[in-house]
Amino acid sequence: MSFAIRIHQTGGPEVLRWEAVTVGDPAPGEVRIRHEAVGLNFIDTYQRSGLYPLPLPAVLGQEGAGVVEAVGDGVSEFKAGDRVAYAGGPVGAYCQARCLPAWVLLKLPDRIDFRTGAAMMLQGLTSAYLLRHTYRVQPGDTVLIHAAAGGVGLIACQWAKALGATVIGTVSTESKADLARQHGCDHVIIHGREDIVARVRALTDGVGVCVVYDGVGKATFMTSLDCLRRRGMLVTFGNASGAVPPFDPLLLTQKGSLFLTRPKLADYMTQRSELLALADELFGFMATGKLHIRINQTYALADAAQAHRDLEARRTTGSTVLLP
C-alpha pair distances (Å), 300 with each of 61, 90, 91, 126, 208: 14, 22, 19, 25, 43
CATH H-level superfamily of 139-262: NAD(P)-binding Rossmann-like Domain (3.40.50.720)
pLDDT for position 213: 98
2-121+294-323 and 139-262 share one fold: no
pLDDT (mean) for 91-104: 96
Q: Which of 282, 284, 192, 280 is nearest to 241 (CA)?
A: 192
d(CA 87, CA 269): 10
Question: What mean pLDDT is predicted for residues 267-280?
Answer: 94
Under the banding of pLDDT at 50, 70 and 90, the label for residue 307 is very high
pTM over 0.75: yes
- What percent of the chain is modeled with pLDDT above 90? 91
Query: How many whole angstroms separate alpha carbon 313 and alpha carbon 16?
Result: 17
pLDDT tens-digit series, residues 13-47? 999 999 999 999 999 999 999 999 999 998 999 99
* Per-residue pLDDT tens over the stretch 231-267: 999 999 988 888 899 999 999 999 999 999 999 999 9
CATH of domain 2-121+294-323: 3.90.180.10
pLDDT at residue 89 above 80?
no
CA angle, 128 as apex, 127 and 129 as ends, to 5°?
A: 95
Residue 66, pLDDT > 90, answer yes
> Where are any strands of DSSP class E within the chain?
2-7, 17-21, 30-39, 58-59, 63-71, 83-87, 97-101, 106-107, 142-145, 166-171, 187-190, 209-214, 228-236, 259-261, 295-300, 319-323
168 within 8 A of 203, measured Cβ to Cβ: yes
Q: What are the extents of the domains in the chain?
A: 2-121+294-323, 139-262
Out of 101-105, 236-240, 273-277, which region has the weakest mean confidence (pLDDT)?
Answer: 236-240
